[in-house]
């Protein structure tokens, strides 16, 4: 349910009618005080909050909502026709708002933003429930602490990249909206929804704790074109790390029989690791080549800190981290283990070539679908 807060009943009626035509369940409040009473009594997925109201204004209401543990994650969208300068917009974000829209608003843009924020709220709520369910389960296990750490590491590693992409696309959508670029806004919001769908799938995997413990994730194999798939994965990282220069060399105009979501996890992991472990260099390279026996090879090269030869055989093991870098770089060592499991399920191979001080090259090779 969505809560609309405005001291003018005509505004409530108009906005309520718009949202109900898009199948939203809507509740209303005519004051900040009434809104606070309702958010403590009922469950809302989003709050649309007018800024200028008698008694408690919108900023005060938002600060109060953000201060309650029960309601602190509910996304708030501010609406204002008067307080529209930078000072008030900044105050809106500082008081807990997720967005600040100027009246009159485009109903289509408002609905798109609402769907996006509601989806994010549902993802956060679902992840919190997964964590709670897991904590209850591991009370009966002898290895409770280690299983909790494994869950947290997988969740953070797998969810961090799409969440970062969502934030980046939303920022771009805001800039496009400020420039009245509706096509650009819709494009970035569509990309946001794509990333949220991927988050949905990842959270569904995390619900089954036995799969997390064993490393057995579900797969959905199908045929797909490899070249646009790879370009899309690289674009996600470019949006998340615009200060890095990612150069792609070579092409592979082939079809793959595999799970594009899982293979994207591998590419995103390789790229984020390359960025993470080359903090003093902005150049990252992705090399693509067709190999004999109907295989495609992907290499991600960086010019970072590198890895000693004697440590390289253990990099794809669960929880393994190179001691020399463990204090400098965060992480629990699950990413490459997950990548190895995914590549093995695709009948592929993987590995690393590296030298301390000269960077690293992580690669994997998977079969190409035969023409026959």
pLDDT computed for residue 158 by the predictor = 62
For residue 346, name the pLDDT band (cuts at 50, 70, 90).
Answer: very high
d(CA 119, CA 113): 10
For residue 297, name the pLDDT band (cuts at 50, 70, 90).
Answer: very high
Q: Structure tokens of 180?
A: 């009245």
For residue 188, name the pLDDT band (cuts at 50, 70, 90).
Answer: confident
pLDDT computed for residue 209 by the predictor = 44
d(CA 117, CA 345): 35
pLDDT computed for residue 226 by the predictor = 95
For residue 178, name the pLDDT band (cuts at 50, 70, 90).
Answer: confident
Mean pLDDT, rounded, for 221-241 = 92
Q: What is the dihedral of CA 50, 54, 59, 63, to 10 degrees?
A: -120
Measured CA to CA in angstroms, residue 226 lies from 55, 95, 336, 362 at distances of: 58, 45, 21, 19
The pLDDT of residue 211 is above 70: no
The pLDDT of residue 326 is above 60: no
Task: Pick the more confident residue, 289 or 157.
Answer: 289
The pLDDT of residue 367 is above 90: yes
Mean pLDDT, rounded, for 20-41 = 89
Q: Name beta bridge partners: 336.
A: none
The pLDDT of residue 170 is above 80: yes
For residue 276, name the pLDDT band (cuts at 50, 70, 90).
Answer: confident
222-367: CATH topology: Heat Shock Protein 90 (3.30.565)
SS3 of 118-179:
HHHHHHHHHHHHHHHHHHHHHHHCCCHHHHHHHHHHHHHHHHHHHHHHHHHHHHHHHHHHHC
Q: Structure tokens of 350?
A: 């993987």
pLDDT computed for residue 372 by the predictor = 46
pLDDT computed for residue 331 by the predictor = 43
Q: Structure tokens of 184?
A: 């650009």
**Domains of the chain by residue range:** 2-102, 108-214, 222-367
Measured CA to CA in angstroms, residue 136 lies from 32, 141, 156, 213, 228 at distances of: 37, 10, 20, 15, 42
For residue 354, name the pLDDT band (cuts at 50, 70, 90).
Answer: very high
User: Do the domains 222-367 and 2-102 match in fold?
Assistant: no
For residue 92, name the pLDDT band (cuts at 50, 70, 90).
Answer: confident
d(CA 240, CA 276): 13
The CATH class, in words, for 2-102 is: alpha beta
Give the strands of the sheet with 245-249, arranged side by side: 245-249, 283-291, 295-302, 360-367, 349-354
pLDDT, tens only, 278-296: 888 999 999 999 998 899 9
CB 281 within 8 A of CB 304: yes
d(CA 212, CA 157): 13
For residue 65, name the pLDDT band (cuts at 50, 70, 90).
Answer: confident
d(CA 90, CA 96): 10
Mean pLDDT, rounded, for 197-201 = 67
């Amino acid at each position: 349910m969505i809560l609309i807060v405005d001291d003018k009943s005509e505004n409530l009626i108009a906005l309520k009618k718009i949202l109900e035509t898009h199948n939203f369940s809507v509740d209303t409040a005519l004051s900040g005080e009434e809104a606070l009473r309702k958010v403590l009594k009922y469950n809302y997925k989003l709050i649309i909050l007018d800024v200028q109201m008698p008694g408690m204004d919108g900023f005060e209401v938002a600060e109060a909502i953000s201060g309650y543990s029960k309601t602190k994650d509910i996304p708030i969208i501010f609406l204002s026709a008067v307080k529209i300068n930078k000072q008030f917009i900044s105050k809106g974000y500082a008081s807990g708002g997720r967005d600040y829209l100027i009246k009159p608003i485009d109903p289509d843009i408002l609905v798109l933003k609402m769907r996006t924020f509601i989806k994010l709220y549902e993802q956060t709520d679902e992840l919190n429930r997964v964590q709670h369910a897991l904590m209850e389960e591991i009370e009966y296990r002898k290895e409770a602490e280690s299983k909790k750490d494994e869950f947290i590491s997988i969740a953070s590693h797998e969810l961090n990249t799409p969440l970062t992409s969502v934030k980046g696309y939303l920022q771009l959508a805001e800039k496009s909206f400020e420039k009245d670029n509706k096509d650009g806004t819709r494009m970035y919001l569509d990309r946001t929804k794509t990333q949220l769908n991927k988050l949905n799938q990842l959270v569904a995997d995390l619900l089954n704790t036995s799969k997390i413990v064993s490393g057995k994730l579900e797969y959905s194999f199908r045929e797909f074109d490899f070249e646009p798939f790879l370009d899309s994965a690289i674009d996600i990282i470019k949006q998340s790390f615009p200060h890095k220069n990612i150069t792609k060399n070579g092409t592979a105009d082939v079809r793959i029989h595999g799970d594009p979501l899982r293979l994207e996890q591998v590419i995103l992991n390789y790229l984020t690791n390359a960025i993470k472990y080359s903090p003093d260099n902005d150049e990252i390279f992705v090399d693509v080549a067709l190999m004999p026996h109907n295989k495609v090879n992907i290499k991600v090269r960086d010019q970072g800190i590198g890895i000693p030869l004697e440590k390289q055989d253990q990099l794809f093991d669960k929880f393994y981290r190179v001691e020399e870098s463990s204090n400098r770089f965060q992480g629990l060592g699950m990413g490459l283990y997950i990548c190895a499991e995914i590549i093995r399920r695709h009948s592929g191979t993987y590995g690393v070539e590296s030298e301390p001080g000269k960077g690293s090259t992580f690669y994997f090779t998977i079969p190409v679908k035969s023409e026959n």
